[in-house]
Amino acid sequence: KEILTTAITIFRCLVVTRINVRLTPGLMKMILKRTSHVHGELKTKMRSLTGSFFGFRANDSREVIRRNRDRAESLKEGSLFAYKDWESKQGIYKTDLLQMGVNHMWFANRNDEGIVYHQYFNPLPVETMALLLASVSTRT
């Protein structure tokens, strides 16, 4: 069990980095299972961050639902959610939301992958940024 836990931790790092790994059928099967899990976990973490970050309100009122929907649609247009200042379109990919997502997903405690395998996160791989953006865009 300990070996499997370590292998899963290492794999989670490999999913978000550009390391070349020779793919065997067994490894490919494991990767496909874990990739889905990592994406699902990130979406769950981003859900809690996105709502408060963009000021979405939890309410059953039709007016509040309409405002939330309108805000979400406007943030998706032109990928405004990815800007530090989405109103002036300044600082693409510099939004604090993305950093918060990275911190919650891979740097939440001293045993997380980002801490243990920090070399794979500096710089943050393009694939990791794409995964973050996809997770946010499905939530906004």
Structural domain including 119 reads: 2-137
Give the mean model confidence (pLDDT) for residues 114-118.
91
Give the mean model confidence (pLDDT) for residues 106-124.
91
pLDDT at residue 137 in the model? 78
Of 47 and 5, the one with more pLDDT: 47
With a pLDDT cut of 90, the percent of the chain lying above it is 46
Sign of torsion over alpha carbons 38, 107, 79, 64? positive
pLDDT at residue 2 in the model? 63
Residue 81 binned pLDDT confidence (cut-offs 50, 70, 90): very high
How many domains are contained in the chain? Answer: 1
pTM of the model: 0.72
pLDDT at residue 114 in the model? 92
